[in-house]
Amino acid sequence: MDVADVMQEIADQLDTIDGLRPYGWAAESVTVPGAVVGYPEITFDATYGRGMDRWDLPVWAVVAKASNRGAREQMSKFASGGGISTFKQVLEAGSYTSLDVLRAATATPDQITIGTSDYLAYRFDLEIAGQGSA
C-alpha cells in the first residue's frame, strides 16, 4: 500500500458527503465542516513474504467551534453509526484500489485548534489492511 494513494482515496471517498470539505493531507487551515486524513501507524509483515501490512489511520471530522450551539447537530451527521453522511457508513462503503480492507473501528471526541479558536472534532480510527510490498 502506498501512503499517499491511500490517504487520497480516503479523502476522495469523504468528498462524496454533501457539504464536507476533505483534506487528504495534514492541512494547516481547514474550512469547516471539514475532514482531515492523518498519517497511518504501519505494522509491517502481517503475513509471510510481505503479503500483508496493517495500518491504523486517523481521520478527523471538524465542525463548528466547540461553543457553537449547532456544533452538536453538525457533528451528529458525521459521527453517528448510520446515515448517508456518517463517516462510518461512507468510508466502509467505498470501493478502493489502494487498499483491501477498511473498517472505521472507533470514533473519539476531540478538539482541534484552527487559528486561535477551538473546533469540535471527532477522531475516527480506521483499521486498514492491504498488500505489503505492492
Partner 1 sequence: MAFVHAKDTFISLDANDLSSFTNTSELSRTADSHDVTTYGKDSHVFSGGLLNGNASMGGIYDSTTSGPRDVIEPLIGTVVELIRRPEGTGSGLPEDAVNVLVTNYTETNAVASMVQWRADLQLSDDVTSTDQT
Contact 70, 64 (CB under 8 A): yes
Q: Which positions from 16 to 35 touch partner 1 by CB under 8 A, shown as an x/- string?
A: --------------------
Site for partner 1 in 51-80 (CB under 8 A): 51-52
Cis peptide leading into residue 33 (ω within 30°): yes
Smaller CB separation from partner 1, 20 or 126: 126
Provide the grid cell at 24: 487528504
Least distance between partner 1 and beta carbon 44 (Å): 8
Is 101 among the residues that bind partner 1 (CB under 8 A)?
Answer: yes
Is 49 among the residues that bind partner 1 (CB under 8 A)?
Answer: yes
Q: Is 59 exposed, middle or buried (CB count within 10 Å of its CB: 0-12, 13-18, 19+)?
A: buried
Provide the grid cell at 81: 453509526
Query: Cα–Cα distance between 45 and 53 in angstroms, integer?
Result: 6
Least distance between partner 1 and beta carbon 89 (Å): 17
Least distance between partner 1 and beta carbon 83 (Å): 21
